[in-house]
A and B are shown apart, each in its own frame.
Chain A
Amino acid sequence: MHISTDIWTWVAVILTFGIFSFLWKDNPFYKFCEHLFVGVSVGYTIALTWYNSVYPDLITPLFRQGKPLYVIPFLLGLCYFFRFIPKASWLVRIPMGFVLGWASGVAIPAFFQTNVIKQIQGTLLSPALFARWDVFLWALISFIGVICSVLYFFFSREHKGALKVAAETGIVFLMIGFGASFGYTVMARMSLLIGRFQFLLRDWLGVIR
């Protein structure tokens, strides 16, 4: 056992125990760690945003290289600060409208590409699947699963009769998918916990290598 003499390791250990103490109940130790975590992360984000975005992507091209088009994002950005002036606070809606319009424009075609067109292509039953019986069987199961799952999300009809059967089959497929996803993600979380324990036992206490 070789306990670490590094001050920063000790700081990290104390903060780790502070966060873990929430498992017992809310306490001043946890509150301190939580506030420190939030404060440090905000400060870090501000510095990161300034050095990675604002300075290289706005200040440099606008004020150092004199590119006049950059005055548009500069003014749009400034509009956010009008929230502090009640009479002019409506100006905040200009960049908001711009951002929402831009976001929808970017998100909708990307959504169609990945969540609609590609998924349709992956679901289609094609002659190539006949090469092996097991491949075709899985493709057929996937085909039925997609049809039934989409029908579960059809809101314009009450789930009755054939639609009810299809929707209930769809929810079975969804739950099987969620179950698999749950197990997979829990394993990933376990690896995060193991990582923290490795830090405590190796870097701090030195009882493992």
Chain B
Amino acid sequence: MGVITLLLTLVLNQASPPVILARDTPDDAGKSITIRWQLTGEEVPEGLILERGDTTGCFQVLGVLSSTETGFVDEDVCDGVGYYYRLGAVFGADTVWSEPTPLVKSAPQWFNRARLNILIAMLVFFALVIYFIEHAKAGRYLFIRRIAGLDAVDEAVGRATEMGKPIVYVPGLGSVADIATIASLNIMGEVAKKTAQYDSALLVPNRDPIVYTVAREVVKEAYTRAGRPDAFRPDNIFYVTSEQFAYAAAVDGLMVREKPATNFFLGTFWAESLILAETGATTGAIQIAGTDSVFQLPFFITACDYTLIGEELYAASAYLSREPLLLGSLKGQDFGKLLILVVIVLSSILLLLSRISGLQFLSAIIKFFNVS
């Protein structure tokens, strides 16, 4: 009886090897093959053995896996090299092997289809921006509402001139890859133009060497545009250190010793935000801050006279300069935001309608917002 059972088991096992599929991982940067399998027999194996073979036909163990696993991503492969895979289902002392997969090679893809929605969103957004820039270039008036923190810039620079004290401009601690830093550098150009016109000193301590180089060029160009290239002091734009709290200690020291009339904290900030803003407040300076770092905004709101919240920071350079190019860009952003609200409201309505029988297909809308 025992012999018959063993023979039946072996026959059944041999008749139902796992079915395995291997393919190049889609929408990736290469060096990855995705393997999927299905166990066909009724008996659950004790474990699985996945092996990888090369063109010589030699297989090596890639991993010993639990029988509950249904897939594996092999990221230890070279692009353009062919591999075979096979899966063994372990039943006690026996292992039933699947047929090896056809030869599979990994390759990078130029386009990630999972991010098609991002491409569409960007194209729509850029189209809006370009449309409004052209609109502005045509000389049409573009209305921008009052932003209190930015109206104070003139007052802040004027105050420094009257008091004969410098202005400290901190462009944040982020790199040039941060959008807030790019926005800050744009605002810096406008502030520098005003300091050049008013003949005030502008001190710019930097944490990032690249930001320092860009800041220096921005200020130099602003002084030239204001017709005061002679007033530009290259030593006033300087690199301090890349260490966060050492930078904070140095800027604190600078504010306490120079006693600036105005402090600008615009850009990306982290834990040092309150240290800087609080020290600046104790020196009696008027302070204008702005960041898109949500965790640092409360500290600036508490310790500064004016705070630009997130999007206001991005709008600032257009607001200050009133240049058609920047105003058009700001208008484009505004209508982009309006479009986002329309998408949220409409999609929500359609999703809620998908509860009605016959309209369930509307629930597929949510998939459009999946990103990987």
Contact = CB atoms under 8 A, between A and B. Distances in A.
A125 to B, nearest CB: 4
A121 B369 contact: yes
Contacts, number: 173
B253 A153 contact: no
A26 interface: yes
Nearest to B337: A150
A155 interface: yes
A181 B213 CA distance: 34
B129 to A, nearest CB: 11
B61 interface: no
A112 B344 contact: no
Interface string A138-161: 000001001100110111111100
B363 A127 contact: yes
A146 B241 contact: no
A206 B142 CA distance: 67
A177 B302 CA distance: 14
B147 to A, nearest CB: 7
Interface stretch (B10-18, B50-58, B172-180): B172-180
Nearest to B240: A38
Contacts of A130: 355
Contact of B118 (A109, A147, A174, A177): A109
A135 interface: no
Given A83-B213, A107-B178, A174-B309, A117 B121 contact: yes
Contacts of A78: none
A116 B243 contact: no
Contacts of A197: none
Contact of A96 (B217, B253, B344): B217
B103 interface: no
Contacts of B330: 155
A107 B241 contact: no
Contacts of A80: 213
Contacts of A83: 213
B355 A30 contact: no
Interface of B: 115, 117-118, 121-122, 125, 142-147, 175-179, 182, 210, 213-214, 217, 240-243, 245-247, 249-250, 252-253, 256-257, 271, 274, 294-295, 297-299, 301-302, 309-312, 315, 319, 330-331, 334-335, 337-338, 340-341, 343-345, 347-348, 351-352, 354-355, 363, 366, 369-371
22 contacts: A30-B253, A33-B249, A41-B242, A42-B246, A45-B242, A83-B213, A99-B176, A104-B182, A107-B178, A118-B371, A120-B340, A121-B366, A121-B370, A125-B351, A127-B352, A127-B363, A147-B344, A153-B309, A156-B331, A178-B297, A182-B302, A189-B271
Interface of A: 19, 22, 26, 30-31, 33-34, 37-38, 40-42, 44-45, 80, 83, 92-93, 96, 99-100, 102-104, 106-109, 111-113, 116-118, 120-121, 123-127, 130, 143, 146-147, 150-151, 153-159, 174, 177-179, 181-182, 184-185, 189
